[in-house]
Amino acid sequence: MKYTSQSVALPYFIAAIGLFVGQIVFGLAMGLQYVVGDFLFPEIPFNVARMVHTNLLIVWLLFGFMGAAYYLIPEETETELYSPKLALLMFWIFLIAGAATILGYLFVDYNTLAEMTGNNILATMGREFLEQPLLTKIGIVIVALAFLFNISMTMLKGRKTVISIVMLLGLWGLAIFFLFSFYNPGNLVKDKFYWWWVVHLWVEGVWELIMAAMLAFVLIKVTGVDREVIEKWLYVIITLALVTGLIGTGHHYFWIGTPGYWQWWGSIFSALEPIPFFAMTVFAFNMVNRRRREHPNKAAVLWALGTGVMAFLGAGVWGFLHTLAPVNFYTHGSQITAAHGHMAFYGAYVLVVLTIISYAMPLLRGRAANSQRAQVVEMWSFWLMTISMVFITLFLTAAGILQVWLQRVSDTPMPFMQVQDQISLFYWMRLWAGVVFAVGLVTYVASFFVKGESKPLITP
């Protein structure tokens, strides 16, 4: 580490990995519930397992983003973090509040939880991905404001770079758009309209800025390519991401009661959304090919390259497959959507968080890179998780295509539950691919404990 205050990133990264493990445990439970309907019922019904699975995904990625910011902002600004104590305080508040919320989901009836936490004062619960109780949402805002204050004050007293500015812009956007989770209008069309201002404008808007900044930071460190070259690429990527992503929100407005022009705006700009992800892939490979140093952390380079490829496939290609209005008319809400969601989240955000952890964790532990043995194990985990995610996506895509045909296209459409029986084979295959993914995750965690001769600390 160049700055001692960067060490506050360590607990954020550890918490992120721990919550990631929890997310996959509940994902496997849901996969089994798809094919064995009464598994864990009534103790953990499917809707509760799904709520925990998706909430853990969001929270562990937020821990990863915050840890990344606490690590890279001091280096980019060339100054110590404004308040390491505030960062650690917010870590414990966020972790305890998150754990309490998950326990509430698991052990308290959701209606009772709503009554206990003030939902009758300001109704914000009950919407997908935003199921958190009012008190939890308020806690998230407090943690976010303290975090942004800490990062912003650090930047104000230090050097300003393109990477740090893009990172801060993305983080502020994340916090601002989350405020729409408090707006829950009685009109269902308005409710869905503004709900997407949190969900879509996070994952297809400001999160892409955070992702691009994190990837650019790691590539500068592991390749030695001139900062000016990487920053030019960063300008192009974030411009494309914002232009296509913001207006591309329209692909969620096709069928919810909004004006018909959204079918044109949404289709056109959503069709352009793969471009920034393709640019990110070209960017990553181009920087590695032009590298001026052989960094000892080969695993971090692999994660970085994987981020570009899998983000393009998941968010770009699989997003495009069903984003045009005439196609989406038949595919929306099917397993094709689930296929896109799984690979997009994994490729764009899971991998970029694991990239920064792979690069920073050895430095936080006093070495430039993990031992060769540890890196081999870590790279095995990359391939296990990535290949299994590809198969999860393919199986869900096949299930979705058959579902659309049997339920919505054929001359004699079948009822929903009968269709589910017809495609259950794909759910079994998805489950076994998920087991392999879990093995990959366990392998990843195990790589931190593999002994061997570590690379000596160099100036990163």
Q: Are 179 and 202 in contact (CB under 8 A)?
A: no
Say what the pTM is: 0.96
Q: Please, which pLDDT band fits residue 454 given cuts at 50, 70 and 90? A: low
**From 104-118, 162-176, 315-329, 441-455, the region with the lowest mean pLDDT:** 441-455
Q: What is the mean pLDDT of residues 123-141?
A: 95
Q: What is the mean pLDDT of residues 399-407?
A: 97
Q: Write down the pLDDT at residue 459.
A: 46
**From 108-122, 287-301, 317-331, the region with the lowest mean pLDDT:** 287-301
Furthest-apart CA atoms within the chain: distance in Å:
67
Q: What is the mean pLDDT of residues 61-77?
A: 97
Q: Write down the pLDDT at residue 331.
A: 96
Using one digit for the tens of pLDDT, what is the confidence trace for 20-33?
999 999 999 999 99
Domains assigned to the chain: 1-159 (1.20.120), 216-460 (1.20.210.10)
Residues in the chain: 460
Q: Please, which pLDDT band fits residue 437 given cuts at 50, 70 and 90? A: very high
Q: Give the whole-angstrom CA distance, residue 269 versus residue 251.
A: 9
Q: Write down the pLDDT at residue 460.
A: 40
Q: Give the whole-angstrom CA distance, residue 269 versus residue 351.
A: 25
List the alpha helices (DSSP H) in 290-415.
298-311, 318-321, 325-331, 335-345, 351-364, 372-404
Burial class (CB in 10 A: 0-12, 13-18, 19+), 449: exposed
Return mean pLDDT, the chain: 95
Q: Has residue 298 got a pLDDT over 60? A: yes
Q: Has residue 317 got a pLDDT over 50? A: yes
Fill in the amino acid letter for 61. L
Q: Give the whole-angstrom CA distance, residue 195 versus residue 185.
A: 10
Q: Write down the pLDDT at residue 290.
A: 85
Q: Write down the pLDDT at residue 1.
A: 75
Q: Count CB atoms within 10 A of the CB of residue 102.
A: 19
